[in-house]
Structure 1
Amino acid sequence: MDTAIPPSAPLPPLSDRWRPKLDESLLAWLIAAITLLPLAVVAASLLQPQREIWAHLGEFVLPRLLSNTAWLVAGVGGGTLLLGVSLAWLTAVYDFPGRRHFAWALALPLAMPAYVLAFVQIGLYDYTGPLQGWLRASFGDSHGFPPIRSRGGVILTLTLALYPYVYLLARNAFQTQGKRALEAAAALGLSRRQGFWRVALPMARPWLVGGVTLALMECLADFGTVATFNYDTFTTAIYKAWFALFNLPAASQLASLLVLLVLVLVLLEQKVRGDRRYTGGRSGAARPDRLSPWRGWLAAGYCLAVLALAFLIPLAQLLIWAKSVAAEQLDLRYFGFVGRSLLLSGGAALLVVGLALILAYVVRRRRDWPSRLAARLATLGYAVPGTVLAVGVFVPISWLENALIDSIKILGLGQPTQILQGTLLVMLLAYAARFLAVAFEPTQAAMQRITASQEEAAASMGLGRRALMRRIHLPMLRGGLLTAALMVFVDVMKEMPITLMTRPFGWDTLSVRVFEMTSEGQWEMAALPSVAIVLAGLLPVILLARDTEKDA
């Protein structure tokens, strides 16, 4: 029972009134275990190397995977940096036709999953596609057109899909520097171009490193794009080892190497950032310089070309394909894909947001380093590829299921063949490990807006802990929780490797349908579920882009 504090009574110290019970810290660590256990299982495979597996991997698999991954990281890192920074500088510093619309529209490619963009690119630009067909009809041949099914095609596709990570952060950096940085550069006799290279770009380095790191993490985690291009990386190798060779130990060994690569990337980011602190002047954003007419239209053409290649043309092609097969595909089976996707995304959103709320509440109440450490570890999953988490969750679930089956048989309670594997529980645990960070950040940000004085006022009115949560915290957290739920919902809707590797038999979703159709080269059949996924992702992306524009 909650104990009310009479208004007339002197208030005890805040630390006494809000001193948590011992089990709250344990609760935070239990939530962190959802992420830590799969990672520990995968990392433990390095401590139990199997010579036969490593000999095979070292001779036939690893050289190709390491080479392909190195090319991919270098190409996508450089491409996203080039596109993101150039577009951010143009829209933040210069004024040209359509600038205000391009400022938020250039983030729209985030709504289109990279694996959807991949099969559209192949359908449009392959030898049998409409573009090369037009070239042959107009000029007699299309041999000079670069092949899209190539390493360059993979790098181009992932660059177009991931550059908004760099663009949004870089644009925020350039705008938050304010006019003082550019005025200082001008006082030194530097032009806007020189100020960019010598002042603005160095000051924006933390944002640029963060954006490129996010893009590279998504690149390393990608499965659908590289699978569509038949470009072998660690994610496709893990999938093949598990489902084609039925070799879970080999999949675990490969997953452990991928975890090491992600860890190296995170450590490099921290080293590049260093201990530097950057302060940007918010005293007033610099008024955009009006470009001359021909330079303005050139800048608008550049922005439009990138937006068209990354979003407008692919979306138009998807709609054309979807219209051509809608009458054939819109049946009960297709509505089953939609229903399962909505059910799975909604269930995952409720679970993940609930865990994030508990974690944020514990961190707020305890304010000690073990709780903060638990929260930090619990949110590591977003940096880990879905294929790795799928393996890491499946291995302990498989061990637990075998133990349960043996116990049931020994007790003579029956002969079960399956209890936990192939259930939604495995999927939801993997989703929680992967997307807890997505829900925790907006939830914690909303929690920080609740001041101690508001809680003290509520306590003085006799509200206990449960009443405080119900009448103060939840109403004030509503916006942050809705944002978190929407982001998790969309991420699960788009997610492919975890769904593909852990789903129950026959539990096909929109993303699984896209994978199955693209694996068979049926681009038109994959268009309708892809359109549904893209439309689901448009709303949060538009809200994010407009909020970023408003904050800047």
Structure 2
Amino acid sequence: MTKNKHHFNLFTSLSGVLTLLACLPVIALVLTAIQGNSDIFGHLIQYVLPPTLVDTSILLFGVGLLTILIGTGSAWLVTAYQFRGRAFLDWALLLPLAIPTYIIAYSYIDILHPIGPVQSFLAANFGWESQPAWFPNIRSVWGCIFLLSFVLYPYVYLSTRAMFLMQSASLIEVARSLGLNPNQVFFRVAIPLARPAIAVGASLALMETINDIGATEFLGVKTLTLSIYSTWTNQSDLASAAQIAIFMLIIITLLVVIERLGRRKQRYMNSAQRSRLMPAQQLSGTKAGLCLILGLITISIGFLIPFIHLLVESYKRFKYAGFSDYLLQASINTLFLATVATVITIAIGFFIVSAARFSQITWFSRIASLGYAIPGTVLAIGLMLSLGKIDHAVADFLEFKLGIHTGLLFLGTTFTLIYAYSVRFLAIAIGGIESGYNRIHGVFDDAAQNLGRNQFLILKEVHLPLLRPAIISAALLIFVDCMKELPATLLLRPLNMETLATQLYAEASRGTYEDGAIAALLIILVGLIPVILLARMSKVLNK
């Protein structure tokens, strides 16, 4: 008993330390913001925050509204109706998830550029000499809303489609027997029941929106995230950047509360619906064709058009200059960082969740999971502040006590970047491993203990083999997210070290779009991995 208690204390203590390390950036951010220069903060309140808050609010409202319309409409289309091509749309509507927000902005800027393929075609065939006034200006807040919505709507589509599938057929049949037409059934029955799922999907889409830095900068939208980045990079004012970040954390907290409330209600709705699933209505002729066209338009805007454009441009670039050395080095750096961060994140997540399994204390895992809700820019600023103080303290101690000059040990190294990735995506590891643990009954633990196994042997011989599928799935998602992460990588990467994401950002900033096409295409191809997994899960759900 004493031995088990010792393991219990060790697990709990180490889990608490790991959770504290995950929260360290936020703690440093809040303390620095409180101690910041009041004069600079007054300047921020008067001149910086008002326009950025306006643009951020417009962007969040527009993306939230449009993703709800597209995601909910698409989910109802492939759930409530049966038509030719429905099976294809069912999984193809997930494809925009493979494209990061900054890549879709990068692609459409190149496509709609005055010397891009669209305007060049119109000029050659219709005699255009300059861009007409009616031609859409993609470099605007409205253009940003449009593009982000067509790449983020799958968050709403996934959660809402799952809810539609779980809605009882008897409810739909009762509504139809009362004389409601299909539109009335959708608005008066299906939508009210799906509100929690819609809230969950929309809040996730909004978190991705507020985390974005590449798309908003490319499209000329001044958001809070971009203000934090520019305040640090252009003015080297870390305290002011921390103060702006606090406003972002307030917004993020509200989104997290909405998402958690939605999930709580969604669980209640799921438990309340145990009867047969809603049947799909058979369509044919014009109506079936219209449904297919609507789905194809959504997929084309969010995935096919940018993907084909990048494929063509990559081929041209590869045929002309081959695979350049700097792009090869960026690929190697990306794979190295993503692999190391994935292994570390999975290991930490496994340890925290396993500690909760043995001790029944779950709040460590809940706190450690909050990093996913923190934008990469905010997380990077928090790490600069916290690790910077640790760096100076260690350097001073070694210099004055031992006479060793070390300089900075953490900042400007790959350690800091991997730390950021681990904190940012720890929630994926914890969530995936927790779902795996939910399938392992406690009787396995009891049987192993009766056979004389301690907790470490139970982890090695029982839990790890059974958790292997959940760990692999979580690792794939973390790996892809690490490859796509841009804001934290821009701020924390070592000097002269580029990843595919930062290489693409640099090329787009210089206006050399053809050089960034290969990097963008590689990111998308890797991003297709979780989409394939989600599509397979969707097929299981349909069955």
Amino acid at match of 2:519: P
- Give 1:80-479 correspondences, 5 Å limit: 80-141=67-128, 142-143=131-132, 144-269=134-259, 277-279=268-270, 281-327=273-319, 328-367=321-360, 371-479=361-469
How far residue 19 of structure 1 moved from its aligned partner, in angstroms, is 8.7
Q: Aligned partners of 1:77, 1:98: CA distance in 2, in Å?
A: 28
How far residue 274 of structure 1 moved from its aligned partner, in angstroms, is 8.0
Amino acid at match of 1:518: A
Change (3 A) 1:163 1:440: same
Contact 1:181 1:281 in 2 (8 A): no
Q: How many residues align?
A: 536
Contact 1:19 1:366 in 2 (8 A): no
Counterpart residue number, 1:42? 29
Q: Aligned partners of 2:397, 2:36: CA distance in 1, in Å?
A: 29
Contact 1:349 1:488 in 2 (8 A): yes
Counterpart residue number, 2:483? 493
Amino acid at match of 2:354: Y
The root-mean-square deviation of aligned C-alpha atoms, in Å, is 2.0
What is the TM-score with the length of structure 2 in the denominator?
0.94
How far residue 152 of structure 1 moved from its aligned partner, in angstroms, is 1.1
Amino acid at match of 1:359: I
How far residue 272 of structure 1 moved from its aligned partner, in angstroms, is 7.0
Q: Aligned partners of 1:132, 1:548: CA distance in 2, in Å?
A: 39
Q: Aligned partners of 2:441, 2:491: CA distance in 1, in Å?
A: 44
What is the TM-score with the length of structure 1 in the denominator?
0.93
Contact 2:141 2:220 in 1 (8 A): no
Amino acid at match of 1:303: G
Counterpart residue number, 1:52? 39
How far residue 268 of structure 1 moved from its aligned partner, in angstroms, is 4.4
Contact 1:169 1:211 in 2 (8 A): yes
How far residue 332 of structure 1 moved from its aligned partner, in angstroms, is 3.0
Measured against aligned partners, the alpha-carbon deviations of 1:205-230 in whole angstroms (never above 9, x if no partner) come to: 11000000000011111111112112
Contact 1:234 1:258 in 2 (8 A): yes
How far residue 413 of structure 1 moved from its aligned partner, in angstroms, is 2.0
Amino acid at match of 1:31: L
Change (3 A) 1:17 1:284: farther
How far residue 188 of structure 1 moved from its aligned partner, in angstroms, is 2.4
Q: Aligned partners of 1:39, 1:274: CA distance in 2, in Å?
A: 26
Q: Aligned partners of 2:457, 2:136: CA distance in 1, in Å?
A: 65
Task: Give aligned-pair identity as a percent.
Answer: 33
Q: Which moved more, 1:53-62 or 1:521-530?
A: 53-62
Counterpart residue number, 1:75? 62
Measured against aligned partners, the alpha-carbon deviations of 1:443-499 in whole angstroms (never above 9, x if no partner) come to: 111012111222223333343333222221111000001011111000000000111
Contact 2:33 2:240 in 1 (8 A): no
1:543 partnered with 2:538: no
Change (3 A) 1:345 1:270: closer
Q: Aligned partners of 2:251, 2:284: CA distance in 1, in Å?
A: 46
SS of residue paired to 1:443: helix
Counterpart residue number, 1:23? 10
Change (3 A) 1:496 1:349: same
SS of residue paired to 2:145: helix
Q: Which moved more, 1:267-276 or 1:218-227?
A: 267-276
Q: Which moved more, 1:451-460 or 1:355-364?
A: 451-460
Change (3 A) 1:292 1:532: same
Contact 2:160 2:194 in 1 (8 A): yes
Unaligned runs of 5+ in 1: 1-11
How far residue 412 of structure 1 moved from its aligned partner, in angstroms, is 4.9
Q: Aligned partners of 1:500, 1:47: CA distance in 2, in Å?
A: 25
Contact 1:180 1:281 in 2 (8 A): no
Q: Aligned partners of 1:271, 1:309: CA distance in 2, in Å?
A: 32
Change (3 A) 1:265 1:461: closer
SS of residue paired to 1:278: helix
Q: Aligned partners of 1:380, 1:131: CA distance in 2, in Å?
A: 43
Unaligned runs of 5+ in 2: none
